[in-house]
Structure 1
Amino acid sequence: MTMRLLLAALVAAVAALGAARAEPAKPDLKVGFVPGPYEDAFKAGVEPTLRAQGYRVRTFHFSTGLEVNAAVHRGEVDANVMQHSVYLKAYNDRNGTDLVGIVQVPTPPMGLYSRKHRSTAGVARGATVAVPSDPMNLERALKILRDLGWITLRPNGNPVDVTELDVIENPAGIRLVPLEAAQAPRVLDDVDFAAIQGNFAIFSGLKLSEALALENMTSPYVNVVAVRKDAAGTPWARDIVSAYRADAFKAAIRGDRFYDGFKLPDYFE
Structure 2
Amino acid sequence: MLARRAILAVLLAAAAAPALAQSAVPTPVKAALEKRDLRVGFTPGPYEDAFKAGVAPVLGAQGYRIAYAHFSTGLEVNKAVAYDEVDANVMQHSVYLKAYNDRNGTDLVGIVQVPTPPMGLYSRKHKTLSAVRPGATVAVPNDPVNLERALKILRDASWIGLKPNANPVDVTELDVTANPSGIRIVPLEAAQAPRALDDVDFAAIQGNFAIFSGLKLTEALALEKMTGPYINVVAVRRGQAETPWAKAIVAAYRSDAFQAAIRADRFYDGFTLPDYFR
Instruction: Give the TM-score of the pair, scaled to structure 2.
Output: 0.88
Structure 1: state its 5+ residue gaps: 1-23
Partners of 1:29 and 1:123 lie apart in 2 by 48
- Structure 1 position 122, deviation (Å): 4.4
Percent of paired sites with the same residue: 79
- Structure 1 position 173, deviation (Å): 1.2
3-state secondary structure, aligned to 1:29? strand
Matched, 1:59 2:68: yes
Instruction: Name the structure 2 match of 1:8.
Output: none
Partners of 2:201 and 2:84 lie apart in 1 by 43
Partners of 2:254 and 2:99 lie apart in 1 by 26
Partners of 1:185 and 1:236 lie apart in 2 by 36
Amino acid at match of 2:94: S
3-state secondary structure, aligned to 1:106? coil
Instruction: Name the structure 2 match of 1:227.
Output: 236
Amino acid at match of 2:214: G
Instruction: Name the structure 1 match of 2:115.
Output: 106
Partners of 1:188 and 1:132 lie apart in 2 by 13
Select which of 166, 169, 181 maps to 1:172.
Answer: 181
Q: How does 1:114-133 map to 2 (within 5 A)?
A: 114-133=123-142
Amino acid at match of 1:26: K
Instruction: Name the structure 1 match of 2:171.
Output: 162
Partners of 2:39 and 2:254 lie apart in 1 by 19
Q: How does 1:247-258 map to 2 (within 5 A)?
A: 247-258=256-267
Instruction: Name the structure 1 match of 2:270.
Output: 261
Q: How does 1:1-269 map to 2 (within 5 A)?
A: 25-269=34-278
- Structure 1 position 56, deviation (Å): 1.0
Partners of 2:273 and 2:189 lie apart in 1 by 26
Amino acid at match of 1:140: R
Q: After superposition, give the CA deviation of every residue in 1:150-195 in whole Å (9 maximum; x if it has no partner).
A: 1110111110000000000101211000000000000101111000
3-state secondary structure, aligned to 2:134? coil
Partners of 1:104 and 1:85 lie apart in 2 by 9
Moved over 2 A (4+): none
3-state secondary structure, aligned to 2:260? helix
3-state secondary structure, aligned to 1:194? strand
Q: After superposition, give the CA deviation of every residue in 1:99-129 in whole Å (9 maximum; x if it has no partner).
A: 0000000000000000000000142111110
Partners of 2:255 and 2:263 lie apart in 1 by 13
How many pairs does the alignment contain?
Answer: 246
Instruction: Give the TM-score of the pair, scaled to structure 1.
Output: 0.90
Q: How well do the aligned residues superpose, as a CA RMSD in angstroms?
A: 0.8
Partners of 1:106 and 1:57 lie apart in 2 by 20
Structure 2: state its 5+ residue gaps: 1-32
3-state secondary structure, aligned to 2:193? helix
